[in-house]
Structure formats: C-alpha cells, structure tokens
Structure 1
Amino acid sequence: MTDAFDVPIRDDSIRLGQFLKLASLIESGAEAKEVIADGLVSVNGQVEVRRGRQLNTGDVVEIGGTSARVVKG
C-alpha cells in the first residue's frame, strides 16, 4: 500500500461511492457500483461492498493499490 493522498470533503461524512468519484479513483457512479460489488475497494484495510457506506474524517479508501484519506475541507 502506498501513502494515502488527502481528499477534502465539505460535510462531516460522505458515501463511499461519492468519495471514489470525488477522489478521481473511478470515472462514474456505475463504475463505483461495479468495483465495490466486485470487492475491489477497501476501507481502513477491510473489503467494503456497500456503496452507501458512510465515510468519516480519517478513513482511508484503497482501490487498485491507490489510497485516499478523507479529510475535512
């Protein structure tokens, strides 16, 4: 795992699918649905299959060897 880059969010939390798009880790909501359903996304080291999973400040999302950290913007 590489060092995570910080991705600021406006609110206190964000859904996993939205965060993947915000962090430019995927191209579209449809792609988010696919990669999450296929078990390719992990949150804090655990595979996550719920696109609606709420992420909070400090959570680290990883996909394909790239990691992004949720930070308060």
Structure 2
Amino acid sequence: MIEFTLTEEYIPMIQLLKATNLVQTGGEAQIVVSEGEVKYNGTIDYRKRLKVRQGDIVEFRGTKILIK
C-alpha cells in the first residue's frame, strides 16, 4: 500500500496516478481511468477529474493508495 499525503484539499485522479508513479504520463492515466482499471473507495470509477480527498482509497492494478 502506498500512503500519499495531500498538500492541498484534493488531487485529481489522473494527477494522483502520475504522482505515485503508477503511470508514466497524463495520457496513460486518462486511458486507464476511462477503461475502468481504477477503483475509488472500492468501486470502479471512470471520472478523470475526480477529486480525491483525505481518507479515500484508490486501487490500480493491485496497488492501493491511501490518501492522508
């Protein structure tokens, strides 16, 4: 599990995937989200601009990210 500490109120989903090095580019992040490869709090979510906030859990290809 990756623990990611927010410095702002939220982080957009595609930026989170890039910041945690789970994808290489923003374009790749948009593709994996639109193809349903990302879970947000246990549910597949297709929103690229989803605002991920403290306490949320994002899962991508078996890796969980806890937002602190």
User: How many residues were matched structurally?
Assistant: 68
Unaligned runs of 5+ in 2: none
Counterpart in the other structure of 1:43 = 40
* TM-aligned CA deviation for residue 8 of structure 1: 1.2
The residue type paired with residue 29 of structure 2 is A
Structure 2 counterpart of 1:59? 56
User: Residue 34 of structure 1 corresponds to which residue in structure 2?
Assistant: 31
Structure 1 segments, 4+ long, off by >6 Å, are none
Q: Provide the alpha-carbon RMSD of the alignment.
A: 0.8
TM-score when normalising by structure 1: 0.88
SS in 1 for 2:15: helix
Separation (CA, whole Å) in 2 of partners of 1:31 and 1:64: 14
What is the DSSP-based 3-state SS (H/G/I as helix, E as strand, rest coil) of the residue aligned with 1:52? coil
Task: Report % sequence identity.
Answer: 29
- Distance (Å, rounded) in 2 between the aligned partners of 1:7 and 1:55: 11
Instruction: With the length of structure 2 as denominator, give the TM-score of the two structures.
Output: 0.94
Question: Could you give the per-residue CA deviations for residues 29-64 of structure 1, whole angstroms, max 9, x where no partner exists?
Answer: 000011001000001001010110001101111010
Q: Can you give the 5+ residue segments of structure 1 that lack an aligned partner in the other structure?
A: none
